[in-house]
Structure 1
Amino acid sequence: MPFLGQDWRSPGQSWVKTEDGWKRSSDEKNNNVPEAKRCCEHEEFYKEELFLAMSYDVAAKKRKKDLLNNNNSSSSAKVPYFHRDKWIYVHKGSTKERHGYCTLGEAFNRLDFSSAIMDTRRFNYVVRLLELIAKSQLPSLSGVAQKNYMNILEKVVQKVLENQQNVRQIRELLQTLYVSLCSLVQDMGKSVLVGNINIWVHRMENILMWQQQLDNIHINRPTSKGMTLTDLPACLQLNIMQRLTDGRDLVSLGQVCPDLKDLAEDRLLWKKLCQYHFTDRQIRKRLILSDKGHLDWKTMYFKLCRCYPRKEQYSDTLQFCTHCHILFWKDTNHPCTANNAESCSIAVSPQGFINLFKY
């Protein structure tokens, strides 16, 4: 028995839609063609149209994906992803008012880190947070958060290339991130990173390009003939050196000229630096004597840095309100219901920021 559809048309016949309804085509050529051949031709035509439609959809999706993943080399194709929230509510469980919990990636997306890196007071804070995320927390971020991470990192590199400051710090950040990505892609497998593996290869190439740009940076000396550091009295130069919290900065400063080198080797300067970063107990465990029988504070400092974490100090940090569980920047008035909101706010270090979202 031949197949009959719901509209009583069998396969292979040509029908046209008219005002009176569907009617069989009166084309003599089609009538002279056997029914099986007309059916085959109709099927081939349908397959060709379907293939063209699928090819168009695939091409359109690929172009859209390349645009979102910043694979296009032109700057106009890059779509940055920045949020500008000054504060967020950190909830760690479902309640009647809120469902779900806040993740590290969500907090990283919503807080205004894109503007924070333009603030000199918050720059070191954000860079340290990027470094900690690169070391261990990158796989825990969502795909949008990972993309936002790379966009903010690119903005940081461009800022350093423009003002020629914090070059060594950003170079170390890029090296840490590149080593972590190599480990994630090769050792642990590509499944820990969200997105196509080619996207991350492209991002790793960008990191190498940024490292090359930082290596080729040339710091221009000021053209004005004003007073310089070497023109100041030795006591003022030593007082300025005491404000430095990184021993590597002291070593670099001592390489400028012989006079600064003698001041950079001052034992009292390195002693205060050790006492600032480390406790007395930690110092007693790493005592080193020089050839003259005195404590070699400079050598002790670099040895202590390899054994213990240094003290971190930032001009401005994120604040966490213990009363309303809101994470906010210091200059933001968050909606706190406490009588004394300042007493409920505590400073959050970069590591403390990450610890807030460990469940």
Structure 2
Amino acid sequence: MPFLGQDWRSPGQSWVKTEDGWKRFLDQHSNYVSDINSTLHYFNVENNKENLYNNLNYDISAKKRKKDLLNNNTKTQYFYQEKWIYVHKGSTKERHGYCTLGEAFNRLDFSTAILDSRKFNYVVRLLELIAKSQLTSLSGIAQKNYMNILEKVVQKVLKDQQSIRLIKELLQTLYSSLCTLVQGLGKSVLVGNINFWVPRMETILDWQQQLHNIQITRPAVKGTTLTDLPLCLQMNIIQRLTDGRDIVCLGQVSLDLQVLSEDRLLWKKLCHYHFTERQIRKRLIISDNGTLDWKKMYFKLVRCYPRREQYGDTLQFCQHCHILSWKGTEHPCTANNPESCLVSLSPQDFINLFRF
């Protein structure tokens, strides 16, 4: 049976019994002194031990300052990159404490997830929601991981030249939230003082400038383009776009695409995809010819209601064993039918999971 008490003869120290009572045996100190003596002999300074002791103390202090500097400037991520984590919301005999949003953000492998095109939009949306309202609930390490992952996202977009508007909106949301939080000087709303967050805000502005100056390059490989396809195939492809702004931008490429982008049936399907019948009936807009203007209705509905979110791959939560993992990841579940216990989580559901 292990000894759990805090005795004055604690493990890690050697004690000997003498006539005056128990005394600590300084075995470690003797080893330390022998190491010092060997160092003295190596440098041939046996006659100047005091200076060497001072030098050793100076080296220890220098190493400590160097370690502190690396901890402040390092971009290494302090998470475990686990495939699944157990979400516990209370203390039990087996587990003490509870799992927080910052802990889940550190331990789940979000850094690798952004490299997967099926998970990229999911992670970006999660970063945006955290920037809006959850920055103050993250620990210092979680906030550092947040900035490191965000940097990887920006670098990926600059390299691939995709999802530029999505990342611009994310950076603008984060910068606006930080401006609001740092205005209250002296308040403990963020981990670290104002001098620690100002360089991060400057970095965000620099990222915004880089995204603003990006130039889309046309691929060198020549082949069939969108306009070379039949009109029915072009319309079929346009109908796969879920953002009305993408359809408007696509219509600015050529006159033929502009005609397709103004199709009433296209905007009607888009409205019914994102919004309910009740929401649509509340925002009806009649055009001059007496018909419904579905394009104007869409942009009006977007300002009033949230759009439908759909992702290729999401996080999933097991209701039986309370394990959180990426979709398709096996976890040790004791249920007879583990697949029936899994629930896909949206980014907002992920955040709500840690609200106690």
Q: Using structure 2 for the length normalisation, give the TM-score.
A: 0.81
**What is the alpha-carbon distance in structure 1 between the residues aligned to residue 261 and residue 57 of structure 2?**
69
Asked if 1:217 is matched to 2:211, the reply is no
Residue 304 (structure 1) aligned with residue 307 (structure 2): no
SS in 2 for 1:184: helix
Indicate whether 1:164 and 2:170 are aligned: no
Letter in 2 for 1:322: Q
> Secondary structure of 2:85's partner?
strand
CA distance in structure 1 between the aligned counterparts of 2:107 and 2:296, rounded to whole angstroms: 43
Contiguous gaps of at least 5 residues in structure 2: 1-54
TM-score w.r.t. the length of structure 1 is 0.81
* Aligned equivalent of 1:132: 129
Question: What's 1:205 paired with?
Answer: 202
In structure 2, the residue matched to 1:294 is: 291
Deviates more, 1:188-197 or 1:96-105: 188-197
**Distance in 2 between residues matched to 1:205 and 1:64, nearest whole Å:** 25
Deviation at 1:196, TM superposition (A): 3.1
d(CA) in 2 for partners of 1:302, 1:204: 31
RMSD: 2.0
Greater radius of gyration (CA) = 1
Closer, same or farther: CA 340–56 of 1 in aligned 2, 3 Å = same
The alpha-carbon distance between structure 1 residues 255 and 176, as it changes in their structure 2 partners (threshold 3 A), is: same
> 1:226: Cα distance to partner?
0.6
Counterpart residue type for residue 278 of structure 2: R
Partner Cα separation in structure 2 for residue 341 and residue 138 of structure 1? 34
Output the CA distance in 1 between the equivalents of 2:76 and 2:298. Answer: 45
| Unaligned runs of at least 5 residues, structure 1 | 1-51, 71-76
1:272 aligned residue: 269
Q: Percent identity?
A: 75
- Indicate the SS of the match to 2:80: coil
Equivalent position SS for 1:191 = coil
Q: Does 1:68 align with 2:65?
A: no
The 8 Å contact of residues 161 and 217 in structure 1, kept in 2 or not, is answered as yes
SS in structure 2 at match of 1:303: helix
Task: Note closer, same or farther for the CA distance 1:194–1:274 as it changes in structure 2 (3 Å cut).
Answer: same
Match in the other structure for 1:243 = 240
Runs ≥4 in structure 1, deviation > 4 angstroms?
Answer: 52-63
Equivalent in the alignment of 1:4: none
Other-structure match for 1:319? 316
Offset at 1:190? Answer: 5.0
* Alignment partners' CA distance in 2, 1:210 and 1:267: 38
Indicate yes or no: 2:353 matched with 1:356: yes
Q: Distance in 2 between matches of 1:58 and 1:195?
A: 24
- Superposed CA deviations along residues 252-286 of structure 1, whole A, max 9, x for unmatched, are 11111111111101100000000000000000000
1:344 aligns with 2:341: yes
Any conservation in 1 of the 2:128–2:170 contact (CA below 8 Å)? Answer: yes
Looking at structure 2, the residues matched to 205 and 59 of structure 1 have their Cα atoms a distance apart, in angstroms, of 30
Q: Secondary structure at the match of 1:88?
A: strand
- AA partner of residue 66 (structure 1): L
Structure 1 partner of 2:150: 153
Residue of 104, 108, 112 corresponding to 2:109: 112
Residues paired across the two proteins, number: 303
> 198-207 vs 55-64, which deviates more?
55-64
Mapped to 2, the partners of 1:338 and 1:319 lie a distance apart of 16
Give the residue type in structure 2 aligned to 1:172.
E
Deviation at 1:54, TM superposition (A): 11
